[in-house]
Structure 1
Amino acid sequence: MHVHLIAPSNEDSTYIKPLWVATLAAHTPDDVELTFHDDGLDPIDLEKAQDVPDLVGISVNSKTAARAYAIAESYRKRGSKVVLGGIHVTALPDEGLEHADAVVSGEAEFLWPKVIEDARKGRLGQTRSLLSRRVYKHDEWPALENLPLPKRGLIKSVRYVPFDVVQTTRGCPFPCEFCSVSTYNGTTFRFRPVREVIRELEDVGPRILFGDDNVMIHTKYSHELFEAMVPLKKHWVAQASLAALHRVENVKVMARAGCRALFIGFESVDDGTVRTVGKKQNKPRKYQEIVRMLADHGIAVWGSFIFGLDDDNGDSFERTVEFCIESRLTMALFALLTPYPGTKLYKRLKSEGRLLRDRWWLERDHDTGAPFFEPARMSRDELRSGWVRAWRSMYSYSSIRKRYDFALDHSWIQNIAYWPINLMMHELAERKIAGGDREWRKHRALELPFGL
Structure 2
Amino acid sequence: MSRQKQGDAAPSREADTALSSSHRVLIVNAYFNPWRKSTPTRWFIPRAMAPFYLAGHFDRDRVDVRVWDEVFDGALLDPRLYAWPDLVVFTGLTSAFDRAHQLSAYFRHANPAVATAIGGPIARALPALCAETFDYVSQGDVEDVADIVRDVFGADCVNETGAPRFDLARPSMGVGYLETTKNCNFACSFCSLTGERRAYTAHSDQSIERQLDAMQNVLGVMVLDNNFYGNSRSSFRHRVELIGERWRRGQFRGWGALVTGDFFKRPENVELMARNGCKAVFSGVETLDPAVLKTFNKKQSLMSDPRALTRLCADHGMFFDYGMIADFSQQTVAQVEEQLTGVLNDHTIPLPSLLTLTIPILGTPYFDAAARDGRLMPNVSLSDLDGQKIVEWPKEPLEKVVPYVADLLRFRGRKRALARHAFRHAWHWRRQFDWDQTALALIRPLHRFGGSIDVNLGSLRQMRQSFREAPLTYCAMTDRPRSFYTPQMPMPAKFEKCFTPLRVTDADGALTDTIQKARERALAAA
TM-score range, shorter chain: 0.7 to 0.9
Give the structure-1-normalised TM-score.
0.79
Q: How many angstroms apart in 2 are the aligned matches of 1:56 and 1:213? A: 27
Residues 1:330 and 1:339: Cα distance change in structure 2 (over 3 Å) = closer
Which residue matches 1:400?
A: 422
Which of 21, 26, 30 is equivalent to 1:4? 26
Which residue matches 1:275?
A: 294
Counterpart AA for 1:224: H
The answer to whether the aligner puts 1:177 opposite 2:189 as a matched pair is: yes
1:304-356 CA distance string (max 9 Å, x none): 11111653223322232244343421543211111111111111111112212
How many aligned residue pairs are there? 404
Q: Is the 8 A contact 1:165 1:208 kept in 2?
A: yes
Which residue matches 1:447?
A: none
Aligned sequence identity (%): 20
Residues 1:385 and 1:222: Cα distance change in structure 2 (over 3 Å) = farther
Superposed, 1:363-382 pairs within 5 Å as: 370-375=389-394, 377-382=395-400
Which residue matches 1:116?
A: 149
Which residue matches 2:275?
A: 256
C-alpha deviation, 1:45, in angstroms: 1.9
Residues 1:7 and 1:222: Cα distance change in structure 2 (over 3 Å) = same
Which residue matches 1:409?
A: 432
Counterpart AA for 1:313: T
C-alpha deviation, 1:285, in angstroms: 6.5
Counterpart AA for 1:20: A
Residues 1:306 and 1:269: Cα distance change in structure 2 (over 3 Å) = same
1:150-172 CA distance string (max 9 Å, x none): 232222x23x3421111011121
Residues 1:368 and 1:178: Cα distance change in structure 2 (over 3 Å) = closer
Which of 59, 63, 66 is equivalent to 1:35? 66
1:130-153 CA distance string (max 9 Å, x none): xxxxxxxxxxxxxxxx96432322
The answer to whether the aligner puts 1:45 opposite 2:68 as a matched pair is: no
C-alpha deviation, 1:279, in angstroms: 0.4
Q: What stretches of structure 1 of length at least 5 have no aligned partner?
A: 122-145, 433-437, 443-452
Counterpart AA for 1:115: I
Which residue matches 2:354?
A: 333
Which residue matches 2:91?
A: 59
Counterpart AA for 2:119: G
Q: Is the 8 A contact 2:350 2:425 kept in 1?
A: yes
Which residue matches 2:200?
A: 189
The answer to whether the aligner puts 1:208 opposite 2:221 as a matched pair is: yes
CA RMSD of aligned residues (A): 3.1
Residues 1:199 and 1:31: Cα distance change in structure 2 (over 3 Å) = closer
1:189-237 CA distance string (max 9 Å, x none): 2111346424533542232111101111233211122123333224112
C-alpha deviation, 1:114, in angstroms: 1.8
Counterpart AA for 2:343: C
C-alpha deviation, 1:360, in angstroms: 2.2
The answer to whether the aligner puts 1:360 opposite 2:362 as a matched pair is: no
Residues 1:380 and 1:369: Cα distance change in structure 2 (over 3 Å) = farther
C-alpha deviation, 1:178, in angstroms: 0.6
Q: Is the 8 A contact 1:210 1:238 kept in 2?
A: yes
C-alpha deviation, 1:402, in angstroms: 4.3
Say which SS state the counterpart of residue 265 (structure 2) adopts: coil
Residues 1:396 and 1:200: Cα distance change in structure 2 (over 3 Å) = closer
Residues 1:18 and 1:307: Cα distance change in structure 2 (over 3 Å) = closer
Which residue matches 1:230?
A: 244
Which residue matches 1:295?
A: 314
Which residue matches 2:335?
A: 316
Which residue matches 2:372?
A: 351
Q: Is the 8 A contact 1:355 1:374 kept in 2?
A: yes
Counterpart AA for 2:64: E
Q: Is the 8 A contact 2:418 2:450 kept in 1?
A: no
Residues 1:368 and 1:270: Cα distance change in structure 2 (over 3 Å) = closer
Q: How many angstroms apart in 1 are the aligned matches of 2:357 and 2:183? A: 24
Q: Is the 8 A contact 2:418 2:445 kept in 1?
A: no
Which residue matches 1:85?
A: 119
* Structure 1, 307-316 or 343-352: larger mean CA deviation: 307-316
Q: How many angstroms apart in 2 are the aligned matches of 1:115 and 1:15? A: 30
Which residue matches 1:304?
A: 323
C-alpha deviation, 1:408, in angstroms: 2.5
Say which SS state the counterpart of residue 323 (structure 2) adopts: strand
Q: How many angstroms apart in 2 are the aligned matches of 1:369 and 1:381? A: 17
Which of 88, 106, 129 is equivalent to 1:95? 129
Q: Is the 8 A contact 1:2 1:54 kept in 2?
A: yes
Counterpart AA for 2:230: I
C-alpha deviation, 1:59, in angstroms: 0.7
Ranked by relative contact order (alpha carbons within 8 Å, sequence separation 6 or more), the top structure is 2
The answer to whether the aligner puts 1:75 opposite 2:107 as a matched pair is: yes
Q: How many angstroms apart in 2 are the aligned matches of 1:191 and 1:317? A: 37
Q: What stretches of structure 2 of length at least 5 have no aligned partner?
A: 1-22, 35-40, 155-159, 456-461, 467-526
Residues 1:200 and 1:424: Cα distance change in structure 2 (over 3 Å) = closer
Pair member with larger Rg:
2
* Structure 1, 422-431 or 259-268: larger mean CA deviation: 422-431
Q: Is the 8 A contact 1:238 1:262 kept in 2?
A: yes
Q: Is the 8 A contact 1:246 1:290 kept in 2?
A: no
